[in-house]
């Protein structure tokens, strides 16, 4: 089934050209010029990925992402941001988006990035469904079919990348190295980017762990990370 993508952007011409290139790859693409319009479309369609401007006319990407994540907790979100804003907001963007692209960008590079994200997503979906539809560790539960995570009765709101990382760890009976996680979650071939795994492990621990209790994600010194006793 063709993946559905929503572009929410102020620059209509740029969005049009991005849409044309994505459609060449058989993606189904919708466009919204405002955050309000994007939310209306998201209520009607289950989008697989949302590409949005850092600042729309009526709300910021952070505000729009917050509302979108209420509809679909594990949404894939990419933010298009000007280089001047990266230093000030780059880390903050990664708390609610899978990634960001710096304008001006090469459209073919963006399309390649989208394709890589979907390739990694399909890999995890297929492997999780082959093994089981649910998994639990202590009081943490993950529903692979509905892509939800809960701690006891509390639903944990994760970004798509955080969910993918958690699903991979919970679905593995063995300790996973940073290189293995990069390959399965990010589809990176270079080990030079292994620090991104540590960054996202910190994000997950910040959302999952409770004060005074042992972390759900164990660091296995010299090896990697694990979620098992």
Question: Given this chain, do its domains 4-117 and 132-226 carry the same CATH topology?
Answer: no
Render pLDDT for 8-21 as a digit per residue (tens, 0 to 9). 998 999 999 999 99
Does pLDDT of 6 surpass 70?
Answer: yes
Render pLDDT for 63-109 as a digit per residue (tens, 0 to 9). 999 898 888 765 677 888 888 887 788 778 877 887 788 888 888 88
**Sequence ranges of the domains in the chain:** 4-117, 132-226
Give the pLDDT score at 35: 95
Query: Class for domain 4-117, per CATH?
Result: alpha beta
Render pLDDT for 171-194 as a digit per residue (tens, 0 to 9). 888 899 988 888 888 765 445 566
Cβ atoms of residues 12 and 80 within 8 Å = no
Token pair of 146 as six digits: 């509905």
Tell me the pTM.
0.56
Does pLDDT of 43 surpass 70?
Answer: yes
Query: Class for domain 132-226, per CATH?
Result: mainly alpha
């Amino acid at each position: 089934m063709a993946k559905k993508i929503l572009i929410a952007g102020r620059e209509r011409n740029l969005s049009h050209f991005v849409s044309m290139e994505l459609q060449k790859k058989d993606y189904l693409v919708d466009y919204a010029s405002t955050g309000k319009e994007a939310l209306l479309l998201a209520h009607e369609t289950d989008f697989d990925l949302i590409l949005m401007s850092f600042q729309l006319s009526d709300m910021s990407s952070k505000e729009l992402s917050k509302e979108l994540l209420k509809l679909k907790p594990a949404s894939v979100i990419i933010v298009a941001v000007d280089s001047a804003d990266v230093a000030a907001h780059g880390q903050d963007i990664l708390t609610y988006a899978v990634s960001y692209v710096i304008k001006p960008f090469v459209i073919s590079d963006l399309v390649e990035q989208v394709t890589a994200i979907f390739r990694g997503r399909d890999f995890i979906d297929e492997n999780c469904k082959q093994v089981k539809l649910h998994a639990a560790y202590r009081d943490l539960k993950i529903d692979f079919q509905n892509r939800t995570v809960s701690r006891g009765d509390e639903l944990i709101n994760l970004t798509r990348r955080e969910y993918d990382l958690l699903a991979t760890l919970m679905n593995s009976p063995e300790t996973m190295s940073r290189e293995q996680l990069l390959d399965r979650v990010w589809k990176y071939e270079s080990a030079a980017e292994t620090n991104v795994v540590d960054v996202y492990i910190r994000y997950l621990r910040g959302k999952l762990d409770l004060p005074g209790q042992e972390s759900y994600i164990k660091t296995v010194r010299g090896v990697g990370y694990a979620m098992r006793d």
